[in-house]
Structure 1
Amino acid sequence: MTAFAIAHLRPAAPHPDIARYIEGIQVTMDPFGGRFRVHNAQVEVREGEWPGFVVVIEFPDIEAARAWYDSPEYQELLPLRTRHIAGDLVLVPGVADGYVASGTTARRTAAAA
């Protein structure tokens, strides 16, 4: 089941470290099957507030997403971004093909009984 690394990054001033980070990130993702689905996209806010932009990286599964984030290669590169761009990053598993949201209620109701 696919998984995603989702980052909400705040606006930042240009910096050479950020350029080095962007130039180097793909190489850290490749061994884990990571690929960008959204990169540096301005969002259309419909509810609440969302300063900044979003990045979504897809991985084959949550184990691959964790292995990428924890890899020595990515951990070496990561400070180039975190020193200059404030943000949040989460790893989240996707849902199986054919997932139907209403089934969640039925499963929770059955589990509570």
Structure 2
Amino acid sequence: MGTFLLLLFIIFFVVPVVRIAYSVYKVRSKMRDAMRGMYGAQQSDAGSDTRQTRKGGWSAPGEHRKKIGKDVGEYVKFEELPASPSSGTSQSARHTDYEPQITDADWEDIK
């Protein structure tokens, strides 16, 4: 009877715990390898940078010329309009009519 209980304990407890531990180990190792791969790719990109291999080293980019010249298009002159006191943008207090809140239907118990 003791051997049977030991066998059941191994089948229903030890084997699932070992499987879960192995799965966690595989996920951790895959994540570690992926991070190392990204770090290695970053290092190889930095090593092959053209700024480091040029004779003069790094230089600032030159100025770019404008895409649209100054002679293209036409100038529009804007004019400020005076604000009139009768406009609707005054900051005075306004009167608002009170509206009663809408009520819902009365509650009825279903029997």
Larger RCO, structure (CA 8 Å, separation 6 or more): 1
* TM-score where L is the length of structure 1: 0.17
Instruction: Name the one with the larger strand percent.
Output: 1
* TM-score where L is the length of structure 2: 0.17
Larger gyration radius, structure 1 or structure 2: 2
